[in-house]
Amino acid sequence: MSTAWPVPFILTLQTLEIDAIVTFCVAILVATMVNAEAQAFAATFLGDARKDAKDRFHFNAFLHLDILGTICFFVGGFGWPRTVKVDSARLHRPWCILLVRFAGPVGNLLLANIAASVIWLAGKISVDAQVFAILAAVNVTVAVYNLVPIPPLAAGSIWDLLIPADRERLGEIWRQAGPFLLVAIALLERLTGREIISGYLNPLVRDLFTFIVG
């Protein structure tokens, strides 16, 4: 499927069209909500169930927005929701925290597939499906960039298992620094044109998008 905008979708002078900007903002809200709610569902399923789970299952996209994660969407095309609080001690196994965090990008991939189905149906009746194409592109980008082992991205949760308990302070510093590091990398790439991590991940984003959308 050829598009008039880049994949991953990033706001540039070429993509600054009102309809594309509005669609991109909606895609951010939906991708963020799906990512967070998928983590919440996985945490509940794997043992961290809570009687009052309104902090998890509210399906209000705006309450899931993270300031730095949202900035990163506009700068680098990817981002993350507010951290879903999980009590790892209540999970069935210590490594279940990885399953919880990766449930987010899996949810994004499922949503991208749903958007691709709508695109296919729209193509059969000759209807422009740009809205769903951007939705698919954003969700695929979020899913792929979660492979970066920097918190709060999903792969960053590996450090929760690798950092020993007596170095928990080090782990906390790393978790707090991670979002700023990701935004800094995205800004540096945008300002200098150097592909620090995007050079490795964007080809995968494009290939996966093409495979899903067709």
- Is 4 a domain residue? no
Q: Which residue has the tokens 């499906």?
A: 129
- The pLDDT profile of the chain, 214 residues, written as one tens digit per residue, is 445 678 999 888 777 788 889 999 999 999 999 999 999 999 999 999 877 667 778 889 999 999 999 999 999 999 999 999 998 889 988 899 999 999 999 999 999 999 999 999 998 888 888 899 999 999 999 999 999 999 999 999 999 888 887 788 888 999 999 999 999 999 999 999 999 999 999 999 999 999 999 8
Task: Provide the domain count of the chain.
Answer: 1
Cβ burial, residue 79 (10 Å; 0-12/13-18/19+): buried
- Is 6 a domain residue? no
Whether the CB-CB separation of 36 and 64 falls below 8 Å is answered with: yes
- Is 195 a domain residue? yes
- Is 109 a domain residue? yes
Query: How would DSSP label each residue in 165-196?
Result: GGGHHHHHHHHHHHHHHHHHHHHHHHHH---S
- Is 148 a domain residue? yes
pLDDT score recorded for residue 94: 87
What type of residue is 103? A
Q: Going by C-beta distance under 8 Å and a sequence separation of 6 or more, which residues neighbour residue 26?
A: 131, 135
Q: Which residue has the tokens 């928990």?
A: 168
- What range does the domain containing 130 cover? 18-213
Q: Which phi and psi angles does 194 have, rounded to 5°? A: -80, 140
Whether the CB-CB separation of 132 and 126 falls below 8 Å is answered with: no
pLDDT score recorded for residue 1: 44
pLDDT score recorded for residue 6: 84
- Is 78 a domain residue? yes
Handedness of CA 7, 129, 78, 5 (dihedral sign): positive
Closest CA to 79 of 95, 64, 89: 64
Taking the model in full, what pTM does it have?
A: 0.93
- Is 13 a domain residue? no
- Is 12 a domain residue? no
